[in-house]
Chains A and B, each alone.
Chain A
Amino acid sequence: MKQDRPKDYAFWSIAITLVLVFALVPVLWLLSISLKPPEQIADGRVIPETFSLDNYKSLFEGGFDESPFLHPLVNSIVIALITTVIAITLAAFTAYAIARLEFPGKRLILAGALAIAMFPPISTVGPLFDMWRAFGIYDTYPGLIIPYLTFSLPLAIYVLTAFFREIPWDLEQAAQVDGATPFQAFTKVIMPLAAPGVFTAAILVFIFCWNDFVFAISLTSSNSSRTVPAALAFFTGESTFTEPTGSIAAAAILVTIPIIVFVLIFQRRIVSGLTAGAVKG
């Protein structure tokens, strides 16, 4: 942002502040609730009268097997990571082919990918539920990874195709002349240059898996494969008569942390301009 134009600067500062407030107030509210003891939850205060970490402690009580949160958290991380790795690998090859090669059915693949991305996931849940039970992958990791792949691949393919198209073809030919096999040219020249795109796609896929509720709630039945968003729905209060609001809030806060970490790590890689200087410019 150019600070030498105070009017612009002021305008953008206000706009950004508004957006930040709009986005962060619910999170602050959630944080506030998670820090309140159960009896103060409905007191309407933003800053809790008394701070308590009981809600957080309750999440981890009973260790890995008994806690309502730990096992789903591990499930979430493992499922999201596996899906991301598989989706990015497949999407990278697909996108490369789409960006570089002429082959019959190229348009069909892109159109198909787009169609799938637009398909409402909820409508596939019923059939999947029946099929997964028949296949014996109901309530397992693959049972979630497969539908996640279906819905995240189109997105990843689109993002990566756009990035691959930006990479000058000459670079790849230069690599070939330099003695690289097509695979070496892809891994040593094309992929490093497409890194911003790869990380962008990876973050999008990871967040999609991490946040999914529809598949997670429908295709799992126990904590052995249930992910955090679904597990939250099964939280119970300290007694039969207490609302689990506090612990849900605490879990919701905790569950956003990996996403924040993930984005912070990779956002530094999502800098465009990495290709600057490749060719005349």
Chain B
Amino acid sequence: MSEIALEGVTKVFDDGYEAVKDMNLDIGDGEFMILVGPSGCGKSTALRMIAGLEDITSGELKIDGEEVNDRSPKDRDIAMVFQNYALYPHMTVRENMGFALKLAGVDKAEIDQKVEEAARTLDLEQHLDRRPANLSGGQRQRVAMGRAIVRNPKAFLMDEPLSNLDAKLRVQMRTEVARIQSDLETTTVYVTHDQTEAMTLGDRVAVMRAGVLQQVGTPEELYDRPRNLFVAGFIGSPAMNFMPGEISGARLKLPIGEVEVSQLSGGGDGQVVVGLRPENIEDATIVGDDLKQQRGVEFEAEIDLVESLGSDLYAYFHIESEGVESELLADLVGESLSETGAGGLREGQERVVARLDPTSKVRRRQKAQLWADTAKLHLFDPESGERLG
């Protein structure tokens, strides 16, 4: 139980590479904080600095108000779950889980009791006397979790703990992690590159890019009001669609039509980047007439590809436009967007993905009438990538 505070924490490696730049982050008591970002964004380095495995170049790290910059990992009372689990192969599950307590000089009966309690929580009781080599990936992962919870530490630090599991097990363990954390109410810092994990697990999510913290907020805040293009593109799956727009007066000209932008404050005239989430585009034949009259634009597009997931239907299509260029988005093209199939942001034609109602009748290579909910537009400055309005 404790608070962790990073104040202007910076990490410069010996070769001059600045992995984390002036990071300020307050993690409250019992909070589940997620550090998320593409690989190489400094999230793991930040976590390792909290753990004490990496020196802090400048800035202050406080645990419970005390500066711990120069404390070794063992004096910080934190537990860490490693990406590859880092179980001690020469020890049984029981010994692995009790190792920290043994080092701390806890007596044997108490160790046994705590280990068994943790094993019950994690459903590992029948494996206590086996060695890690004889366990499955999911079991090893649970042992790694067990090793952390047995100690009842001030904080859990988790470095992509689920990334080595297969997709099904990952979802299962995700729920498990969330359950354990909320039961124990232990402050947790969780690093992941998977925005789904970030959105589902975290009380709050901190998005990082190139060593710089982009935005910290609840999953809803990040989703509904991303502070810049990077966060907008990173959070959400499939990713947000971007298109260039031009504001003149109170009207916004988009490749798909023109809309009133009365809600914009201080935007002024000029070019903007417009973001539209896939679920805000719908098959026009499904949308009710009254809603269509109220707001939104209707447009026609030739559907390139339809992916039906049963519950949803993803339709991919092109719109004619110059494309959006931003350094912030360049990072994303290779990352999450490629995973969701919405890559190719900077091509002459914009590729757009829409999440339609499964009853939609749109077909591949056919023209379809679509409707975009323009009340849900996100506007960004094309130069800085910052959110407008």
Chain A residues within CB distance 8 Å of chain B: 168, 170-171, 173-181, 184, 188-189, 192-193, 195, 273-280
Contacts and interface: CB of A to CB of B under 8 A. Distances in A.
Interface string B89-106: 110000000011001100
Interface in B88-130: 88-90, 99-100, 103-104
B74 A279 contact: no
B84 A177 contact: no
Interface string B53-83: 1000000000000000000111000111010
26 contacts: A168-B84, A170-B82, A171-B86, A173-B51, A173-B80, A176-B53, A177-B53, A177-B78, A177-B79, A178-B79, A178-B147, A179-B100, A180-B74, A180-B103, A184-B103, A188-B99, A193-B90, A274-B89, A275-B89, A276-B89, A276-B133, A278-B87, A278-B89, A280-B84, A280-B85, A280-B164
A277 B103 contact: no
Contact of A278 (B53, B103, B132): B132
B142 interface: no
Contacts of A193: 88-90
Contacts of A280: 84-85, 137, 140, 164
Interface of B: 51-53, 72-74, 78-80, 82, 84-90, 99-100, 103-104, 131-135, 137, 140, 147, 151, 157, 164
B74 A277 contact: no
A179 B74 contact: yes
Given A173-B82, A173-B86, 12 more contacts: A173-B80, A174-B147, A176-B53, A177-B53, A177-B73, A178-B100, A178-B151, A179-B104, A180-B74, A192-B90, A274-B89, A277-B87
A130 to B, nearest CB: 48
A186 B111 CA distance: 22
A277 B53 contact: no
B86 A170 contact: yes
Contacts of A176: 52-53, 72-74
Contacts of B147: 174, 178
A278 B83 CA distance: 12
A279 B135 CA distance: 11
A151 B151 CA distance: 47
Contacts of A180: 74, 103
A109 B294 CA distance: 79
Contacts of A171: 86, 88
Contact of A279 (B78, B86, B103): B86
Nearest to B159: A170
A114 to B, nearest CB: 27
Contacts of A189: 88
Nearest to B90: A192
A164 B301 CA distance: 61
A268 to B, nearest CB: 15
B356 to A, nearest CB: 39
Contacts of A175: 88, 99
Q: Which 5 A-B pairs have the closest CB atoms?
A: A277-B133, A279-B84, A277-B132, A170-B86, A178-B100
A181 to B, nearest CB: 7
Contacts of A179: 74, 100, 103-104
Contacts of B131: 277
A173 B74 contact: no
A189 B89 CA distance: 9
